[in-house]
Amino acid sequence: MAADSRAARPLQKMFSEVPATYDLINRLFTLRLDQAWRKIAAKECMRENPRLVLDLCTGTGDLALSMAGQARPGMHIAAVDFSLPMLLEGRLKFVAPGQRVGFVLGDVGKLPFREGSFDAIGIAFAFRNLVYKNRERDKYLSEILRVLSPGGKLVIVETSRPRSPLVRLLFHWYMRTAVSFLAGLISGRGAAYKYLAHSAINFYSSGDLSDLLESAGFRRVQYRTFLFGVCALHLAYREGPGNMENS
């Protein structure tokens, strides 16, 4: 695991305080749908037989674990995050032989990988942290594009803004009560879950996120939604005649 000497930033500090209860809260408040959605995202990452895949902002490693479960021989998986406590929690899950994932401590703003390294990049429930009211948003997007191989694929699974006003009302109520209040109580980190609920409530619709990806230089952006639009899976490609171009 490479060292990161930069001073801790607010989000980095916040995520470093929640790993002990992070998985429990995810499973509890989504009734395990989070895992089903990660599995779909992992499948999308693996679809075109990538050689090297990245789980960006891996946290406690659940997407990487799902990728490893679906990987074919010869595929390699890297998982990056800027929170060491999250990475250490994630590493505990990789005990079975053959479940090889390279964990890397690093910041999306300065990814420690060469240009065009990855045929596919997956990001689960963390894209919001990178682009919601984040002044480093443009830098993050161009770094993701840089480390993606020409023709390579970005797969984002993230909460979304439901189109129906009724579903939106229910979703926001659920985020404010269950997630913000109860998850804060269980974890003892009220501020962290208040931020997570607030950012989910105010995050982009699927269409707006597609526009953001297009304007950042991604191509062939497409999406599908789950559970009446509270979650969305976006696919976006780096331009180029790479191995994924004709999928």
Ligand X SMILES: C[S@@+](CC[C@H](N)C(=O)[O-])C[C@H]1O[C@@H](n2cnc3c(N)ncnc32)[C@H](O)[C@@H]1O
Binding residues for ligand X, per CB under 6 A? 11, 15, 38, 57-59, 62-63, 81-83, 86, 107-109, 124-126, 129-130
> Residue 83 or residue 187: which is nearer to ligand X going by CB?
83
The residue among 184, 187, 114 whose CA lies nearest residue 149 is 114
> Residue 38 or residue 39: which is nearer to ligand X going by CB?
38
- Compute the distance between CA of residue 110 and CA of residue 152 in angstroms, rounded to an integer: 19
Spell 104-129 as b/e; 16+ CB within 10 A means b: bbbbbeebebeebbbbbbbbbbbbbb
> Residue 86 or residue 151: which is nearer to ligand X going by CB?
86
> Residue 107 or residue 119: which is nearer to ligand X going by CB?
107
Smallest distance from ligand X to CB 117, Å: 16
The DSSP 8-state label assigned to residue 238 in this structure reads -
Instruction: Quote the radius of gyration of the chain (alpha carbons, Å).
Output: 17
Smallest distance from ligand X to CB 115, Å: 18
Smallest distance from ligand X to CB 84, Å: 9
Smallest distance from ligand X to CB 141, Å: 12
Smallest distance from ligand X to CB 59, Å: 2
Three-state DSSP state, 223: strand
CB-based contacts of 27, cutoff 8 Å, min separation 6: 34, 35
**What one-letter code names the amino acid at 84?**
L
> Residue 124 or residue 233: which is nearer to ligand X going by CB?
124
Which residue's Cβ has the minimum distance to ligand X?
Answer: 59
The residue among 173, 145, 172, 163 whose CA lies nearest residue 236 is 145
Spell 14-43 as b/e; 16+ CB within 10 A means b: bbbbbbebbbebbebbbeeebbebbbbbbe
> Residue 38 or residue 161: which is nearer to ligand X going by CB?
38
What separation, in Å, do the N-terminal and C-terminal C-alpha atoms of the chain show? 34
Smallest distance from ligand X to CB 23, Å: 8
